């Protein structure tokens, strides 16, 4: 299995190489050259299996000979052992034909743990073979950073630097990044928004002297391994509602398009997904782009679902690559137009995207109202991101059962939840002392050279 860049100008890599590389050297994102498919019988055989076994079967065809079978099983087992629920991704019922896939039982209470815990294990295993040391740099709107820090803290051959937008993450998110005491963890509060943080990380990857000098590795959802780990829960959720014998729909609260792109891959692998619905908050560039054909950025508006406060949606590039018939030059041209504000999607590509994705948006007031009404009707307390998903899902209910992805635990966003319901959600017991731990954070300007100097000095 080979991986190719969405911009067509970088060398094809193996799974292991693509995982350690992150962003392709032509600025593109790695995607599998071909997508392995499962027969209906193979999908039916997943029903009732432990999450770890489903993960092994779904991911193995993408990985070539990166890991021996027994080794890979061990990595998966360790990745999910720290989750607070035996099912890993339990399914709850919200209404007659509407279900919630709870993806927030990992160590940092957001779905990012599914991929990050596994990447932590896989990178550690790959580095142990070569004795190499790497520098991980990531940008976060709050949850990727804490998940990465949790997965890499204390590892001998890794330094992890996380850029988060100063003042724009929730207090729980910030404390999860700033309280780990391990010396290889570096939380950097940057002046700017998430798009600025992500842009500086991409700049570091495009500065080859720096990239090679510090042996840069990336764990944002530009990293294919993250997308792949997320494909698993689409299979797990769908088979528990009767796939492949009946179709299932998914609604996904998304910002960077990583999570929903994993659903698109699951569908390409043969999982019978009826509708795949993009749910955005007031930063609704994806919804607008699908409706109008114009992908135009107009500045991030901070919301109560901050992990989706994004206008430059990295993984959308992977969907565009397929929609443009895998024409890397066409994608590279769009991405250079994006630097000056946006681009127009061709009619053919737009039709291809609309054939795969539905979309909707949810305002701030609708988000609060959804948290309130779902709590009253079902007892389920949603985080604001999951509420965005539920509201948009309710507008897309049909004959197939709908599964909305619940992307974070409500206690990660206690202010928004308390405002909506009048009750402050409690953190799970295992992190009850989060507010008592000392914080360690470095404030940095939105300045590439300054951030690079800091990283060089720290490693």
Ligand X SMILES: *Cc1c(COP(=O)(O)O)cnc(C)c1O
Name the one residue in this structure whose structure tokens are 């027994």.
70
Q: Which is nearer to ligand X, 408 or 451 (CB)?
A: 408
Shortest Å distance, C-beta 366 to ligand X: 16
For 443, left (φ over 0), alpha (ψ -120 to 50), or beta?
Answer: beta
Our CB check for ligand X shows the closer of 235 and 257 to be 257
Q: Of 221 and 303, which has the nearer Cβ to ligand X? A: 221
Minimum CB separation from ligand X for residue 33, in Å?
A: 23
Alpha-carbon distance of 33 to 326, in angstroms, equals 10
CB of 144 to ligand X, least distance (A): 6
Nearer to ligand X, 105 or 211 (CB): 105
For position 407 contacting ligand X by CB under 6 A, the verdict is yes
Our CB check for ligand X shows the closer of 59 and 310 to be: 310
308 is a contact residue toward ligand X (CB under 6 A): yes
Q: Are residues 404 and 386 in contact, defined by beta-carbon separation less than 8 angstroms?
A: yes
Residue 127 to residue 284: CA distance in whole angstroms: 39
Looking only at residues 95 through 114 of this chain, which bind ligand X when binding is defined by CB under 6 A? Answer: 110, 112
Q: Decide if residue 221 touches ligand X (CB under 6 A).
A: yes
Q: What are phi and psi of 248, to 5 degrees?
A: -130, 145
**Least distance between ligand X and beta carbon 260 (Å):** 6
The one among 66, 256, 283, 370 contacting ligand X by CB under 6 A: 256
| Alpha carbons 38 and 21: distance in angstroms, whole number | 28
Per CB under 6 A, 150 contacts ligand X = no
Provide the CA 350 distance to its chain's centre, in angstroms: 23
Residue 367 near ligand X by CB under 6 A: no
State the Cα–Cα distance between residues 252 and 393, nearest whole angstrom: 8
Tell me if 318 contacts ligand X by CB under 6 A.
no
253 counts as binding ligand X under rule CB under 6 A: yes
Q: Does 408 bind ligand X (CB under 6 A)?
A: yes
Smallest distance from the beta carbon of 317 to ligand X, in angstroms? 13
Partnered with residue 442 across adjacent β-strands are: 188
**Residue from 385, 392, 414, 451 in contact with ligand X (CB under 6 A):** 385
- The count of residues interacting with ligand X (CB under 6 A) is 16
Q: Does 263 bind ligand X (CB under 6 A)?
A: no
Stretch that binds ligand X, among 82-90, 247-255, 336-344, 371-379 (CB under 6 A): 247-255
Q: What is the per-residue burial (b if ≥16 Cβ within 10 Å, else e) of 399-425? A: ebbbbbbbbbbbbbbbebbeebbeeeb
Q: Give one word for 96, left, alpha or beta, with left for phi > 0 and alpha for psi -120 to 50.
A: alpha
Q: Which stretch binds ligand X (CB under 6 A): 188-196, 251-259, 295-303, 352-360?
A: 251-259
Retrieve residue 148's tokens: 């990465």
Give the span between the Cα atoms of 200 and 95, in whole angstroms.
43
- CB 129, min distance to ligand X, A: 29
Choices 248-256, 320-328, 329-337, 439-447; region in contact with ligand X by CB under 6 A = 248-256
Q: Are 374 and 390 in contact (CB under 8 A)?
A: yes
* Spatial CB neighbours of 101, under 8 Å, sequence gap ≥ 6: 89, 90, 91, 233, 237, 403, 404, 405, 406
Quick one: 256 or 356, whose CB is closer to ligand X?
256
From the CB of 2, what's the least distance to ligand X, in Å?
A: 24
Of 254, 280, 281, 404, the one binding ligand X by CB under 6 A: 254
Q: Is 307 in the site for ligand X (CB under 6 A)?
A: yes
Q: How far is the CB of 111 from ligand X (least distance, A)?
A: 6
When asked if residue 251 is in the footprint of ligand X (CB under 6 A), the reply is no
Residue 141: name the closest of 287, 298, 304, 250 by CA.
304
Q: Does residue 116 touch ligand X according to CB under 6 A?
A: no
259 binds ligand X (CB under 6 A): yes
Count other C-beta atoms under 10 Å from residue 238's C-beta. 29
The bridge status of strand 442-444 relative to strand 273-280 is unpaired
Counting contacts by CB under 6 A, is residue 220 touching ligand X?
Answer: no
In this structure, are strands 402-406 and 248-253 parallel, antiparallel, or unpaired? parallel
Residue 339 annotated to the active site: no
C-beta closer to ligand X: residue 175 or 211: 175
d(CA 312, CA 198): 9
Tell which one of 257, 264, 295, 324 touches ligand X (CB under 6 A): 257
101 in Cβ contact with 241 (< 8 Å) = no
Q: Which of 147, 181, 183, 142 is nearest to 163 (CA)?
A: 142
Q: How far is the CB of 386 from ligand X (least distance, A)?
A: 7
Is the CB of 253 or the CB of 401 nearer to ligand X? 253
Catalytic residue among 92, 112, 153, 268: 112
| Interface contacts to ligand X, rule CB under 6 A | 110, 112, 143, 221, 253-259, 307-308, 385, 407-408
Tell me the catalytic residues.
112
């Amino acid at each position: 299995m080979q991986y190719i860049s969405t911009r067509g100008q970088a060398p094809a890599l193996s799974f292991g190489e693509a995982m350690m590389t992150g962003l392709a050297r032509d600025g593109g994102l790695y995607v599998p050259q071909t997508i392995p498919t499962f027969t209906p019988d193979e999908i039916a055989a997943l029903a009732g299996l432990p999450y770890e076994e489903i993960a092994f079967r779904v991911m193995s065809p993408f990985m070539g000979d990166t890991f021996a079978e027994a080794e890979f099983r061990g990595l998966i087992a360790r990745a999910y052992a720290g989750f607070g629920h035996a099912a890993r991704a339990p399914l709850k019922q919200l209404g007659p034909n509407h279900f919630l896939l709870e993806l927030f039982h990992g160590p940092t209470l957001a779905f990012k743990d599914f991929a990050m815990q596994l990447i932590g294990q896989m990178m550690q295993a790959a580095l142990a073979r070569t004795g190499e040391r790497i520098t991980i740099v990531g940008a976060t709107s709050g949850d990727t950073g804490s998940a990465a820090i949790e997965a890499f803290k204390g590892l001998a051959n890794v330094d992890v630097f996380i850029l988060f937008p100063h003042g724009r993450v929730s207090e729980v998110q910030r404390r999860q990044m700033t309280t780990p005491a391990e010396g290889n963890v570096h939380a950097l509060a940057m002046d700017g928004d998430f798009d600025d943080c992500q842009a500086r990380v991409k700049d570091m990857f495009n500065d080859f002297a720096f990239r090679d000098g510090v042996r840069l590795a990336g764990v944002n959802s530009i990293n294919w391994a993250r997308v792949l780990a997320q494909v698993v829960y689409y299979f797990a959720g769908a088979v528990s509602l009767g796939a492949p014998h009946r179709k299932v729909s998914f609604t996904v609260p998304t910002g960077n398009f990583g999570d929903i792109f994993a659903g698109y891959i699951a569908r390409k692998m043969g999982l019978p997904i009826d509708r795949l619905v993009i749910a955005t908050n007031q930063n609704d560039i994806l919804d607008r782009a699908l409706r109008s054909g114009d992908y135009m950025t107009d500045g991030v508006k901070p919301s109560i679902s901050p992990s989706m406060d994004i206008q430059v949606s990295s993984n959308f590039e992977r969907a565009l690559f397929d929609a443009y018939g895998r024409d890397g030059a066409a994608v590279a041209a769009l991405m250079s137009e994006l630097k000056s504000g946006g681009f127009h999607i061709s009619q053919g590509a737009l039709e291809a995207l609309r054939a795969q994705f539905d979309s909707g948006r949810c305002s701030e007031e609708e988000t609060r109202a959804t948290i309130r009404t779902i709590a009253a009707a079902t007892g389920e307390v949603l985080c604001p991101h999951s509420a965005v998903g539920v509201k948009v899902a309710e507008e897309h209910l049909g004959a197939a059962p709908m599964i909305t992805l619940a992307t974070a635990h409500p206690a990660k966003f206690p202010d928004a939840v308390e405002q909506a319901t009048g009750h402050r959600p409690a953190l799970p017991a295992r992190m009850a002392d989060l507010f008592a731990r000392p914080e360690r954070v470095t404030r940095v300007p939105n300045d590439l050279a300054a951030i690079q100097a800091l990283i060089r000095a720290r490693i």
